[in-house]
Amino acid sequence: MDRKIILSGIQPSGNLCLGNYIGALKNWESLQDEYDSIFLVVDMHALTSTQSPSNLRNRCLSFVAQYVACGIDPEKSIIAIQSHIHEHAELMWVLNSICYIGELNRMTQFKDKSKNQKNKNVGLFTYPVLMASDILLYQADLVPVGADQKQHLELSRNLAVRFNNKYSETFKVPEPFIPKVGSRIMSLQDPLKKMSKSDENLNNIISLLDTDNDIRKKISRAVTDSGSEIKYLKEKPGLSNLIDIYASLTKESIKSIENNYQGKMYSVLKKDLIEIIINNLSPIRSEYNKIIKDKTYLNDLLKKGSDNASYRARKTLSKVYRKVGFVKK
């Protein structure tokens, strides 16, 4: 039987951070043996916020190298850059025509991200339709993402069902795969907001390429409450976030972490957490430093990835064009 398909993507804005690693990349790595996997660097999505062209270009390659350094194996999974496969934009146009403005108006990420923008760009508004097209193009069964993407995924499901009902069975209806622990890692300085790779305050985030010293400093300074009991509680968002990171990286349960640190000071937990993060990230960093230098290797894997992805994308898009009534070339 054919293996089920998973697909996910990260936009190359800012530096990949611990939130992206725990919420997405770490799960991609463990799912790739079981699933037919496609992992994208979604550069077209990144255009919805301001990007310098040369930074965007460099960051795309750097993200590909970081995917591989995190254990995404190009022999097992397709790794590709979204803009290399023109079918994403083409399917989006078709999906735009069955998506309602009211649906996009309800998207909380659009409300958050456009809040402080004077001139809101249309791309930011229709971004979830492009995401639906990424997913539906490859007939994905499962989409491993952090909790913040749940609403976008619901829209992808609705668009798939709507298209299938209007024309005939065409798209698989994808399911989200959201980790039980670590689906929403919070900012280190403001634990009420999500850790985000494009955050301008670098003290809020641990970047995958931070040095050991950066990690030590940032975790030592991470905001906690003034209490002393190590308990995972809503009233202790800073401490609970550190426990979440600890639990996700060690696979230890939150209960057992609480038991092990009973009666100990926050600083003891922080010190151990620093070692855990360093043990996870330093091998990734050294692997990255090797891979990023080998441009031939990166270009070859991208060529193979986009050839494979384009083949699949073409198959779905030609079916869609036929169903909606476009004349065959």
What residues make contact with ligand LTN under the rule CB under 6 A?
7-9, 11, 42, 45, 131, 134-135, 143, 145, 149, 152
Report the nearest approach of ligand ATP to the CB of residue 229 (Å): 25
- Partners of 40 in beta bridges: 9, 80
Q: Which does 198 bind (CB under 5 to 8 A by kind): ligand ATP, ligand LTN, none?
A: ligand ATP
Please tell me which residue in 26, 197, 236, 270 is annotated as part of the active site: 197
Q: What is the nearest approach in angstroms of ligand LTN to the Cβ of residue 268?
A: 34
CB closest to ligand ATP, residue no: 23
Is 194 an active-site residue?
Answer: yes
- Nearest CB to ligand ATP, comparing residues 16 and 92: 16
Judged by beta carbon, residue 14 or residue 238, the one nearer ligand LTN is 14
Query: Which contacts (CB < 8 Å, 24+ apart) does range 282-289 have?
Result: 282/212, 284/66, 284/69, 284/70, 284/208, 285/69, 285/208, 285/209, 285/211, 287/68, 287/69, 288/65, 288/66, 288/69, 288/208, 288/209
59 makes contact, choosing from ligand ATP, ligand LTN, none, with CB < 5 to 8 Å by partner type, with none
Binding site for ligand ATP (CB under 6 A): 10-11, 13-14, 17, 19-20, 22-24, 145-146, 148-149, 183-185, 194-198
Q: Which is nearer to ligand LTN, 152 or 270 (CB)?
A: 152
Quote the least distance from Cβ 11 to ligand ATP, whole Å. Answer: 4
Catalytic residue ranges: 113, 194, 197
